[in-house]
Amino acid sequence: MVQSSVLGFPRMGANRDLKKANEAYWADKLSRDELIKEAKRLRLAHWQIQKDAGVDVIPSNDFAFYDHLLDHIQLFNAIPERYSKNKLDPLDEYFAMGRGHQKDGVDVPALEMVKWFDSNYHYVKPTLQDNQTFTLSSDPKPIREFLEAKEAGIATRPVLVGPVSFLHLGKADRGQSVDPISLLNKLVPVYVELLKKLKEAGAETVQIDEPVLVQDLPQKVKDAFKPAYEALTASGLPKIVLATYFGDVVHNFDVFPSLQSVYGIHVDLVRNPEQLEAVAGKLGSSQILSAGVVDGRNIWKTNFKRAIEIVETAIQKLGKDRVIVATSSSLLHTPHSLEAEKKLDPEVADWFSFAVQKVSEVTVIAKAVTDGPAAVREALESNAKSMESRATSKRTNNKAVKDRQAAVKPQDHERQSPFPQRLAAQKTHLKLPIFPTTTIGSFPQTKEIRVQRNKFTKGEITAEEYERFIEKEIEEVVRIQEELDLDVLVHGEPERNDMVQYFGERLDGYTFTTNGWVQSYGSRCVRPPIVVGDISRPAAMTVKESKYAASISKKPMKGMLTGPITCLRWSFPRDDVHQSVQAQQLALAIRDEVVDLEAAGVFVIQIDEPALREGLPLRAGEEREKYLSWAVDAFKLSAAGIKDSTQIHSHFCYSEFQDFFHAIAALDADVLSIENSKSDAKLLKVFEDKEYPRHIGPGVYDIHSPRVPAEQEMKDRIGEMLQWLKPEQLWINPDCGLKTRQWKETKAALTNMVNAAKFFREQHA
């Protein structure tokens, strides 16, 4: 019999229940016990969904209040002393590490948060000390949740992040020099202790995720697998299924001899189906293969015919008793259920599969290869019709879009003049001071904004009433920025629901869900639009609001756009057309908007590309360079249709640019703002080393936390930046948009930021 397996299930619930509960707890509207009770309800509901679908191997410990890496930080007591010394309740200590804490005399920032491989999910980075120790928590979460499921009559396979990945994905704390992987011999015994306790609790098999095996690894990290897994597979411990995902493992086959003692290995056969034969050939004589054939990263229905062929190939090589049908990765990256989508066009809805549906897909494939196609004939026939419908639909093709793409010339990617000439024109036109201050775009989205948007969506107020409300909000945001004395203003984006969804709703080629929420970080959920066909811009998307904002202030107004790569990466893209084609279509649409903004009197335009690094292929080499080539071309195509005197900004998440700095430089943006507040300022050294000539705005404070940094803290941060950047290069800004923050903390933080900038302005007068 071929078993079915799910590597992980979304945490938020059918209606973003966990988000609502967490935020109520943070606002002191829900007690600790009530939050814990709601979390238990969600876990039980998610296990029951999988059990009812007939899944054989159901995960536990895939739930997290905030983040699964943060769970492991607390599980192994790898908690920096700045948090542990405050003796907070364990749950509050956990949230303090995730989002910061500024309450009752305790003031600590959050730990650094970065993207989980090439996804839009963010994890909290393990932050380690020179004298680091690890101990198992007194009430280990994996055991508690395994027993919780067991009590409900559901057998589960606990999920852990492996010790090599935990350390390799971590970093030395500021002021520390420890190499994380050198701590392996301290950490592995704690894993062994945990596995013993899981065995005692009744766990026969444990899933240990080592996703770093899809990356290029230093030899010392590769060498860590041997001692780690010799210890983790010792007699008396549960059997280990080692899981990899988001890429292939062939380049790390030299590690496989160190993994011969694990029970099985999971590989992603959606992302890299071609690795199957090589991986099967490297397995030990009794090792099982967990075949990830149901996509954990996208929303398209699984092509049953193709997936069954892959699994049958594995069976031919290994036998039915050594193959498990599985999701390619955790389903964390997919929405909860398609059942909630009542407004989707039936034709399009028939092409989709969300987490609940993917759980069933896994069981259908397993049954088909176990009992034969006749056992699931109805499901296979229905699936084949869905595949045919999508392949032949007229919705996917637009000749005018294809013709415009064919007419793009190399010169269409270039600005009129090189940066020095542009800078001179911009200085004359914009008249900005040294250390200019700005924000990244969005301002707090209040309850009133959400209520009015909801009323407009439901038809309870007219378009004219909604426009008047939005103009009032824009005027208020502009006046606040003028009072704060910011130098380059924004309109605040009160009309926007999401930085990608808003644009997708105004572009042909997209479709949208009502409840297709996916966790981005903590309680932050996004509802990615879905690219179903060729993309074009039928009308202006942002000009009206930006033009109005510019008309009511004498200060420069910055138009805010989302760049082509981010629009693509933060959508669910088509899987039938190469992403470079979709990116160029988006670039042409955004180019039209940039030209229209300039014509409307908006002479600073920000084209956000926070997802550029996220899209970077996980391994260096030809594939990465090809990606960077078409991604850079898409950005340049979107930005090149304007005069020298109009200033182009772009924003990037995270400051780890070393691997592809040449591409950052090639974008030719006049000003880069980067999310750098939680990173070591030394990372800015790359701009000095490469003699980067253009302007840079590293974030001076973290907007993911409600904490308000003191003015002196920001001065210190700016001072660190000036060790690596020239004064005339440096812009002063937060590290990201302010949409999720409250007005009180926003005004306080921006006041401190502006005062810090003025201090340095006086120093350099």
As annotated, the binding site for L-homocysteine includes 440-442, 608
Q: How far apart are CA 311 and CA 305, in angstroms?
A: 10
Return binding residues for L-methionine. 440-442, 493, 608
Looking at residue 182, what DSSP letter applies? Answer: G
Exposed / middle / buried, residue 105 (Cβ in 10 Å: 0-12, 13-18, 19+): exposed
Rounded to 5 degrees, φ, ψ at 182 are -70, -10
Return binding residues. 19, 120, 440-442, 493, 524-525, 570, 608, 651, 653, 662, 675, 736
Secondary structure of 335-389 as H, E, C letters: CCCHHHCCCCCHHHHCCECCHHHHHHHHHHHHHHHHHCHHHHHHHHHHHHHHHHH
DSSP secondary structure string for all residues of 86-139: T---HHHHHHHHHH-EEETTEEEPPPPEEE-TTSS-EEEPPEE-TT------SS
Rounded to 5 degrees, φ, ψ at 706 are -75, -5
Exposed / middle / buried, residue 553 (Cβ in 10 Å: 0-12, 13-18, 19+): middle
Q: How far apart are CA 764 and CA 264, in angstroms?
A: 62
672, two tokens: 């880069």
Is 336 annotated in the active site?
no
Secondary structure of 246-277 as H, E, C letters: CCCCHHHHHHHHHHCCCCEEEEECCCCHHHHH
Q: How far is CA 680 from the centre of its chain?
A: 21
Angle, CA 628 vertex, CA 627 and CA 634 arms, to 5°: 95
Residue found by looking up tokens 């829900």 in the block: 30
Q: Which whole-number Å values give the CA distances from 278 to 217, 226, 251, 702, in the listed order?
A: 19, 21, 11, 45
- The answer for residues whose C-beta is within 8 angstroms of residue 735's C-beta and 6 or more apart is 440, 673, 674, 675, 676, 677, 678, 698, 699, 700, 701, 702, 703
Could you list the beta-strand ranges (E) of 484-603. Answer: 489-490, 508-511, 518-521, 524-526, 530-536, 557-562
Which one-letter amino acid corresponds to residue 620? A
Q: Which of 574, 376, 550, 426 is nearest to 478 (CA)?
A: 550
User: CA-based Rg of the chain, rounded to a whole angstrom?
Assistant: 26
Q: Which whole-number Å values give the CA distances from 322 to 3, 205, 272, 372, 461, in the listed order?
A: 9, 15, 20, 17, 60
Q: Which of 671, 674, 675, 686 is nearest to 639 (CA)?
A: 671
Q: Which of 318, 360, 321, 325 is nearest to 339 (CA)?
A: 360
Q: How far is CA 40 from the centre of its chain?
A: 25
Angle between helices 219-232 and 184-201 (to 10 degrees): 30
Active-site entry in 101, 695, 704, 764? 704
Q: Are 335 and 14 in contact (CB under 8 A)?
A: no
Q: Are 121 and 520 in contact (CB under 8 A)?
A: yes
Q: Are 258 and 232 in contact (CB under 8 A)?
A: no
Return binding residues for 5-methyltetrahydropteroyltri-L-glutamate. 19, 120, 524-525, 570
Q: Are 328 and 297 in contact (CB under 8 A)?
A: yes
Q: How far apart are CA 529 and CA 511, in angstroms?
A: 6
- The answer for residues whose C-beta is within 8 angstroms of residue 527's C-beta and 6 or more apart is 335, 498, 501, 512, 513, 515, 516, 517, 518
- Residues involved in catalysis: 704
